[in-house]
Every structure is written in C-alpha cells, then in structure tokens.
Structure 1
C-alpha cells in the first residue's frame, strides 16, 4: 500500500489536494481530524499520498475515499487501525474479506458518503415526532445541530422503537452519566501518552482512546446479554 520513493517524489497533478484542502472537505464530517492525524494514518500505511518535489503531501480522490472509510470505521465501529489496514490490504489483493465488528449491520463500502439531515428531514426519516427529538436533546442523548449525520438518525430511530415499549428519553438520562464515567476511565488511561506533546503522540492517544472505547463496548454488551439470559 505504501507508495514507492519514485512515486512519492513525482510532481503532483493539479487536481490533487493539499492537507489544508483535505481538512476543509472532511472536517464537516470528522471535526477532530487534524494534520497530525493525517500524518499518523500515513505512518500506519493506511493512505499513501503523493509528494511534490518540495516534499508536500498531495491527496488523490482515492486517498480521500480511503480516509473517509478509515475515519468512518473508527467512529462508527471503534475498529483498531491494524484491523482496518488488514481489511484494506485484503481488498487491494482482490479478495472480499469480512470486516470484523460489522456483523450486525451492513458492511460499508470503500466509498462511504455520509448523508447529512436537517432537523425536519431527520424527524421524517426516523419516523419520529418533533417532541421526541426535543426530549432526546433535553435528555442529552442527542446534541442539537443544524444538520445531523447517520449516527444520530440511528439513535432517533432506536428512540422511536423504545417509545413504543414505553421507554421515553427521560428514562435514559443515566446513559449520558454512564458515558461520562467511561470517558473518565479513558482519559485516565491516556495520561501517560497525553503527557507527551508531540503530534505523533496526540494521534496515538486518539487511536488508543477508540480502542479502549471498543473494549468497553464489548464488556457492556456482554453484561447486558448475561443479564438478559436470566430472564429466559
């Protein structure tokens, strides 16, 4: 996947994007994306941007597609970069691998394009009511915004189904407190890495945070399944 030195130093075509242009295009979808994060992903050989004669990175449309895919897999499924890279390596080799962590839902393509929903469209797509969305915001289950992504749509759809069983957003206020406690655990675990101020360490801290969150999700799901088994 890594570009050869000869490829990396060839003059970049005019339609390639600089780091600044990449950030401008992707930050609306991924607000925490930074230049250090891009460099970190390159170090892990998930992307291979071209280089100009002066050494500046230039990103192709393929690089952009791969970036969206990697960032989406981290955000939606908390997958470690080594798993994502292995999956991409398999794709590059012409195989059709199964992506771990997505067995319960559709496997995303290499070209994910997240749709953004204004408030009224979000409510309509979720089959919700304006009051349900307002209640979800009041319960800190959804952060108010001008436009919402697919994850928020999934949450609102779940709230619609829960409401049919008599579970209202106000009953789930503890979920926010639980999430804050988990965040505290993650931040404590990151202290040794966070003390280092270089860009590479910041990117590693971000990756480690996602990995820890994924492990916590596994533990939480196991506890819920165990508790449900006692109801049988």
Structure 2
C-alpha cells in the first residue's frame, strides 16, 4: 500500500500523524518499507502495526525513539501471528479480532451481516483486521456498517474491472500466465485505489466549498 493509504489507516487513531512523521520514523530506522522500481514506498500491514506501536508508545508512555526501537528489536510491536516470521499470515479468532480492532461483538456481527468481512475456516486474516479497525474508527463519526454499503459496492465494481482485465491473461493457460495476471492485478488495484482516493478528495473539497 502507499504512504497515503497508511496515513488514512492511522489518522483515525492518531490525528496528528503526517506523511512527514512517517518518513521521519523511516529515516530513524524504525520501519523499513520496500521500494518499487520507480522509487515509491511500498508498505505492508506489518508496517502499519509497527507504526501503531510506535505512535502508541510515544503518546501513552512518552518513550524516546531509541527505547521504542530497542523494544521493537525484542519483538514488541508485531502482531502475535507475525512474531518471528514476517511471511506468516495473521489468523485471528473472533475474540482476538474484537480485541485487536477495539470493536464490540455487535459491530463485528454487523460487518458480517453486510458482507464487509467474513471468516475463513473460522479465522480472520489481516484484511479483516484492517476492515474492522477502519469501521471502528468510522463509528466515532456515527457511521456504522449499514452506512458503508456504497463503499462495498464501489469496491466490488473496481474488482470487476480487475477481473475483466486479467481474465484474457488467465485464459491463455501459458507458462507464467498466473504470475503475469497477479502482477497486472496488483498494479491495476494500486492505480484504482489512487484514482478512488483522488476522486474522494475532490468530492470532499466540493462539499466544503473549496
């Protein structure tokens, strides 16, 4: 994900965080995002969890970055399912998801009822955690799962564009077709996310009369 998407996930909980702050923490060696061939930062959900840990330690415990960095080196600031292995996927139980996302059972039930997330083999992955946390933050503004059906519908339409684009690649059944389709899908998804975010920002400026 882009640095702008990371900022969007964090600002509900940390209103003062900025792009400059994230870049500063990177410069101090507390997070290490990858770089795309064109030089853009590429963040993962692990980086988001690390940033949440850093910002929480600063806000709640007033710890200096040096101490926070030492704690992270000891394994703090990682989701439990990722400790010791960055490649291991998050798999949370229902109770763990509720705790990690700081939501209640009613909110989780609403998310499932409206199709915003669903468990796989009774476990929730990192995307489900992100959805739950984001909806939890939106709830502070009076927005519940039922208000977000339009967001889900827009996401499904964008996924339809991705499917429409990669379907011919997959039909070729040529060696490497799956890898090519995956790469195209990732790139197209990133472009659609950027477009979506820009359109929302433009719409919000219009609402505010700017």
Q: Tell me the distance in 2 between the aligned counterparts of 1:121 and 1:195.
A: 40
More helix by share: 2
TM-score (norm 1): 0.52
Q: Tell me the distance in 2 between the aligned counterparts of 1:214 and 1:97.
A: 16
TM-score (norm 2): 0.57
Count of matched residue positions in the alignment of Structure 1 and Structure 2: 141
| Residue in 2 that maps onto 1:152 | 128
Bigger relative CO (Cα 8 Å, ≥ 6 apart) = 1
Which segment is superposed worse, 201-210 or 126-135?
201-210
| Residue in 1 that maps onto 2:202 | 226
Structure 2 residue runs without a partner (length 5+): 7-31, 36-40, 52-77
Deviations 1:188-226, CA, capped at 9 Å, x for gaps? 222432221124112211221111111100100111122
Which segment is superposed worse, 104-113 or 142-151?
104-113
Provide the aligned C-alpha RMSD in A: 3.3
Q: Is residue 180 from structure 1 mapped to residue 156 from structure 2 by the alignment?
A: yes
| Residue in 2 that maps onto 1:122 | 97
Q: Is residue 134 from structure 1 mapped to residue 109 from structure 2 by the alignment?
A: yes
Structure 1: 4+ residue segments shifted above 4 A: 103-111
Q: How does 1:181-200 map to 2 (within 5 A)?
A: 181-200=157-176
Q: Tell me the distance in 2 between the aligned counterparts of 1:149 and 1:174.
A: 23
| Residue in 1 that maps onto 2:179 | 203
Q: CA deviation at 1:115?
A: 3.3
What SS is found at the alignment partner of 1:190?
A: helix
Structure 1 residue runs without a partner (length 5+): 1-71, 78-95
Q: CA deviation at 1:144?
A: 2.7
| Residue in 2 that maps onto 1:102 | 43
- Structure 1 residues 203 and 98 mapped into 2: Cα distance closer, same or farther (>3 Å)? closer
Which segment is superposed worse, 146-155 or 126-135?
146-155
- Structure 1 residues 149 and 197 mapped into 2: Cα distance closer, same or farther (>3 Å)? same
Q: Tell me the distance in 2 between the aligned counterparts of 1:159 and 1:228.
A: 19
Q: Tell me the distance in 2 between the aligned counterparts of 1:156 and 1:183.
A: 20
- Structure 1 residues 174 and 97 mapped into 2: Cα distance closer, same or farther (>3 Å)? closer
Deviations 1:6-39, CA, capped at 9 Å, x for gaps? xxxxxxxxxxxxxxxxxxxxxxxxxxxxxxxxxx
- Structure 1 residues 137 and 184 mapped into 2: Cα distance closer, same or farther (>3 Å)? same
What SS is found at the alignment partner of 2:176?
A: helix
Q: CA deviation at 1:150?
A: 2.5
**Larger Rg computed on CA atoms:** 1
- Structure 1 residues 97 and 152 mapped into 2: Cα distance closer, same or farther (>3 Å)? closer
